[in-house]
Amino acid sequence: MSKHENKSLKDNPRFPLGPENYRLMAIGFVIIVIGFLLMVGGKSNDPEVFNSEMFNFRRITLAPMVLLFGFVFQIYAIMKRSKSDE
């Protein structure tokens, strides 16, 4: 890198992520929170009584899929290039 390129970077600093990236990351965070909220519940009031509610579709299948989608969406939000970079 030449001195001219180095000086122009100091004069015009750029953030690695743009506003669109931060919006997408906020959406991904909300998706992850929804996934964790879907997992909540299913406990029994009496520890001696088994509650099969803990093993329903929402907690075993749906919530982990929502969480996985949220984490993949976060990776996409971080890696997405802004239109000005292209």
> Is residue 66 a part of any domain in this protein?
yes
> Is residue 5 a part of any domain in this protein?
no
- Percent of the chain scored above 70 by pLDDT? 83
39 phi, psi to nearest 5 deg: -80, -20
> Is residue 79 a part of any domain in this protein?
yes
> Is residue 61 a part of any domain in this protein?
yes
Q: Residues 6 or more apart from 5 whose CB is under 8 A from it? A: none
pTM for this model (two decimals): 0.77
> Is residue 70 a part of any domain in this protein?
yes
> Is residue 6 a part of any domain in this protein?
no
> Is residue 30 a part of any domain in this protein?
yes
Q: Which residue has the higher pLDDT, 64 or 43?
A: 64
Q: Which structural domain, as residue segments, surrounds residue 24?
A: 17-42+49-86
> Is residue 25 a part of any domain in this protein?
yes
Q: Residues 6 or more apart from 67 whose CB is under 8 A from it? A: 32, 35, 36
How many folded domains does the chain comprise?
1
- Percent of the chain scored above 90 by pLDDT? 55
